[in-house]
Structure 1
Amino acid sequence: MERCWNCSAAAVEDSPCTDGAPIPSPQFPHRAFWGSLTAILLVVVIALSVTGYIGFRQPGPMSMLQVVRITVPDQTGTLVNQSALVDKRNNVVTYSVTSHSNHTSTVMFDIKHGLICYKPDNQETCFLRKMERPDYENVHTLFDESQQVSQFWLVGNETQRHTEFLGVLGSSHVNVSTLQEPLQTLCQQSSIYWTRRADGPGKQRLIYFCIDICFPSNICVSVCFYYLPE
């Protein structure tokens, strides 16, 4: 009790007497603050890591496009270069075929809609054909092989070559608005006709033009067109 009476008057007014023991000063809750801040930072880091992982795992639109180059000797031994744009996102393969006269034709394989479109150079015309089983096999070979390399050199004596004849049905004019993308864009300003496979043009008909297409599976197809009699 004697120590209590020695407390100053100011101390008595501010706080009760502590019997001489030191009065603890108020402390800011540092431990709770830093714990909360650490938890928030941890959550942010985890969120950024997950977002970056997903972005890395999911390729962008441009990474789904790949240019594949195919070099093959023709029947005279001259090297012929072709390029194919493989669009894995839309299941489309677009060939650019340059002839000996420096005319580049476009051949588009639309796997999704099961169509092949031939667009010769210097002509405002598109020719359509439905894909068949060999077409699907050849294009899928290109899809599979393009995952490994982007350039193919085909061996002349191992390459299988054959010719396909397609008759142009002049009476079956196609409205471009009925086509789906990307065929609609390719043939926007062109006359469009259906074709059908035939044994040959016959002596009375002349071949209109031919397009040679080669695949990584050592298969080359020469597609020749002619107009059917109306």
Structure 2
Amino acid sequence: MERSRNGSVVGLEDPQCVDRSPELPPQVSHRTLWGSLTALLLLVFIAGSALGVLGIKRNKPQSVLQVVRITLQGQSGSPVNQSVVVDERNQIVTYYVTSHSNHTSVVLFDLKNGLICYKPENQGSCFLRQMDVSDLENGHLLFNMSKHKVNQFWLPGNETQRHREFVGILGGHPVDAQTLEEPLQTLCQHHPIYWARKVDGPGKQRLIYFCIDICFPSNICVSVCFYYLPE
């Protein structure tokens, strides 16, 4: 004990004489610790997610497209060229048929869904029909050619079989493009799509509007002719 000037007794533990550093309450330090751990875990989660997405994109198999050119002798004796794009992974075969007027029609074979989509030149519409057995066989034949890396195929005129098919268009049965998968949506975007089916013939009272000639590596050329069926 010490006596002050005014006679009062001052203890060693008096707060005026002992300098104490302030201490944080236990709940404040615990809250800070948990907040730091939460932020650290959140950063680790975000970084892991980003790396996972990049890994998925990097490991995703890319579709390999192969172009096969089919050359044949036309009925007039001049060579006719058709380009075929084979997408084996997505089971898509796309024909690009160029006419003598330098306009191109597109015929897409979707073997996975069993559909054929026709986009004729200067028609402003697409036509969809179900595949049959011969369509599947021709599509798989092109897949086999792509496996053997065949880029050019020549069809001799004297060995090529030619025949005509008639396809009737159901103009009153439009197809909702949203129900179709890619690449059909991209092919027919901003164009109306109608169902069609194979028929025996147009009859005398119906007119054929257009035809598309398609040649397959099996030495078969098909002239597909379209007309509108009565509704």
Q: Same fold (TM over 0.5)?
A: yes
Aligned counterpart, 2:185? 184
**Map of 1:80 onto structure 2:** 80
Output the CA distance in 1 between the equivalents of 2:111 and 2:169: 22
Write the distance in 2 (CA, Å) between the matches of 1:216 and 1:60: 28
Q: Distance in 1 between matches of 2:103 and 2:141?
A: 26
- Give runs of aligned pairs for residues 7-156 of structure 1, distance below 5 A: 61=62, 64-148=64-148, 149-156=150-157
**Counterpart of 1:54?**
none
How far apart, in 2, do the equivalents of 1:209 and 1:114 lie? Answer: 24
Question: Tell me, which stretches of 5 or more residues in structure 1 are unaligned?
Answer: 1-57
Aligned to 2:219: 218
| SS of match in other structure, 1:184 | helix
Cα deviation for residue 126 of structure 1 reads 0.4
What CA deviation, in whole Å up to 9, does each residue of 1:144-175 have, x standing for no partner?
12333110010111111111000100111111
**Post-superposition shift, 1:124?**
2.0
Moved over 4 A (4+): none
- Residue 167 of structure 1: aligned partner: 168
Q: 2:201 matched to 1:200? A: yes
- What TM-score results when the alignment is normalised by the length of structure 1? 0.72
> Counterpart amino acid of 1:82?
Q
Question: Partners of 1:176 and 1:223 in 2: how far apart?
Answer: 23
Output the CA distance in 1 between the equivalents of 2:209 and 2:105.
14
1:76 CA displacement: 2.1
Alpha-carbon distance between aligned partners in 2 of 1:100 and 1:202, rounded to the nearest angstrom: 28
RMSD (CA atoms)? 1.5
Measure, in 1, the Cα distance between the counterparts of 2:211 and 2:91. Answer: 25
TM-score w.r.t. length of structure 2:
0.71
Identity of aligned residues (%): 69
TM-fit CA distance, 1:85: 0.5
